[in-house]
Every structure is written in structure tokens, then in C-alpha cells.
Amino acid sequence: MASRKAPRSIHVASLSLLLAASVQAGVALLVSSTSKVGFAQWIFAAAVMGLLLWGIGRGYRLAWLWGRYLTLFLSAMVLVSLVLGLWKGGLPWRVAAVMLAGLVLPLAATSIALGRPSAVDWFDLRCPKCRTPASRGKDFLFRQARCVSCGNVW
Ligand SMILES: [Zn+2]
């Protein structure tokens, strides 16, 4: 599996995730002087992204699942908090712009890239029988995928 050449969508997803993780780690360092709780949260988020990055590179289906949906969720969460922060006037525009470019956009890009057909193939998520892409695993860890169309498990 490691010898396969990753498609462009996987490169895009990995680089976007790397950018987002770096920004997360940067924010963690910035908030470390003000609050300990914030630091732990941001470092945890950065660590999770690092783990996802590793899993995507290895072609782990669980990483695909989380990489596809967690990133979309986080992107929306950050976007909402940015809009709220600007609405209330407490958030400087410059910080909002950095968060938008460094977190919201790359996280969304990761999710979109992982939804590309070439990414689906990279994670071996296309049913060998009927070619339907699977988005759900047979078990919690997604070691095996189950086809929603024909019920095939692989
Ligand atoms: Zn099938």
C-alpha cells in the first residue's frame, strides 16, 4: 500500500490539512500565554489533524471518514465563531482573515479533496462488484467497507 503513488486529490488533502494543523499549533502557542485551557484544546486539535494526516497518507479508511467529515464540521464551526466574533465586534478583522485563510478554507479543501473519485480509489472505497463508492464501514473502525448498493463487504 505504501508503494502506491498518491493521486493529486490526496496531495491536496494532505497539504491543506498540514496547513490547518500548523495554524492550529500556532494559535496554541499564541493563546498559551493567556490561558491553559485554550492551549490544551488547540494542541489537541492539531494533534488530531496530525494523526489524520498520517492515516490519509497510509490510505486508512478510518482517516478518510474522519478527514472527510470532521474537517467539514470544524471548518463550519470556525466559520460560525468567526462570524459571531466579527458581529459582536470583539474579533479583529486581521485575526479573522488569518483564521479564514489558515483554517476554514484548508479544512473545507481537505474535505472536498477526499470526496474526489481518485481519493475514493486511494482508500479502496469503491465496491469491487458494482463500483459504488462506500461511505460507511462494516465495523466501527472501518477496516472493512460495506456496499450500500449490493451489500458486498471488502
Ligand atoms: Zn456493490
pLDDT tens per residue, the chain (154 residues)? Answer: 445 789 999 999 999 999 999 998 888 888 777 777 778 888 888 899 999 999 999 999 999 999 999 999 999 999 999 999 999 988 889 989 999 999 999 999 999 999 999 999 999 999 999 999 988 888 888 999 999 999 999 9
**Residue 131 falls inside a structural domain:** yes
Q: What angle do CA 22, 28, 32 make, to 5 degrees?
A: 150
Amino acid letter at 149?
S
Q: Are residues 94 and 107 in the same domain?
A: yes
Same domain? 99 vs 26: yes
Q: Are residues 93 and 154 in the same domain?
A: no
What letter would DSSP give residue 114? H
Q: Answer yes or no: do 152 and 81 share one domain.
A: no
The Å distance, Cα 88 to ligand 1 centre, comes to: 50
128, 93 Cβ separation under 8 angstroms:
no
Residue 3 has what pLDDT? 58
User: Are 55 and 128 in a shared domain?
Assistant: no
d(CA 91, CA 84): 9
Q: Report the separation in Å between the CA atom of 146 and the middle of ligand 1, taken as the mean of its atom positions.
A: 8
49 falls within a domain:
yes
Q: Into how many domains does the chain fold?
A: 2
User: In angstroms, what is the span from residue 124 Cα to ligand 1's centroid?
Assistant: 13
Distance 66 CA to ligand 1 centre (A): 22
3-state helix, strand, coil split of the chain in percent (to 5) is: 65, 5, 30
Query: Distance from the CA of 21 to the center of ligand 1, in angstroms?
Result: 35
Q: What spacing in Å lies between the alpha carbon of 135 and ligand 1's midpoint?
A: 12
- Same-domain check for residues 21 and 51: yes
CA of 64 to the centre of ligand 1 (A): 19
DSSP state of 137: B
Q: How far is the CA of 62 from the centre of ligand 1 (A)?
A: 19
Same domain for 79 and 20: yes
Are 53 and 28 contained in the same domain?
A: yes
Q: What separation in Å is there between the alpha carbon of 141 and the centre of ligand 1? A: 20
In a domain, 27, yes or no: yes
Range of the domain at 104: 8-122
